[in-house]
Amino acid sequence: MLQVIRFHLDESVSNAIAEGLRLRKIDVTTSPEEGLIGASDEEQIAFALSGTRVIFTFDDDFLQLHQIGITHAGIVYTRQGSRSIGEIIRSLILIWECLDPDYMMGRVEFI
């Protein structure tokens, strides 16, 4: 069976992005839904890793964690305010369509 990326959106990400992905049948969790509001970045990464979920975030602290070698299932990052919600959704769909979880393991993609 083909493996597809599943996403986790951290607490800074608009729920509209989650809804846009879900409309396209993409598996996504969010920090508020998972009771992770206020959780540390390390806890967010651990949650996402446990479910082999790629984190989408605006928080550049995740990039620092990647740089120091924290194990993660993948990070997708963009600077807050640099893209519209529609552009973010389209970019995440493209990642979902073109990449697989094994490729994303331990990688950062910038959109």
Q: 19-60: per-residue pLDDT in tens?
A: 999 999 999 999 999 999 999 999 999 999 999 999 999 999
Give pLDDT, residue 2.
67
pLDDT score for 70: 97
Q: Do the beta carbons of residue 101 and residue 3 sit within 8 Å?
A: yes
Find out whether 91 and 45 touch, Cβ atoms under 8 Å: no
Query: How confident is the model over 3-23, as pLDDT tens digits?
Result: 899 999 999 999 999 999 999
Report angle CA 46, 63, 21 to the nearest 5 degrees.
Answer: 65
Residues 63-108 have pLDDT tens digits of: 999 999 999 999 999 999 999 999 999 999 999 999 999 999 999 9
Residue closest to 62 by CA, chosen among 83, 41, 81: 41
Residue 1 has pLDDT above 70, yes or no: no
- pTM value is 0.95
What type of residue is 99?
Answer: L
Domain ranges of the chain: 6-110
DSSP 86-103: HHHHHHHHHHHHH--HHH
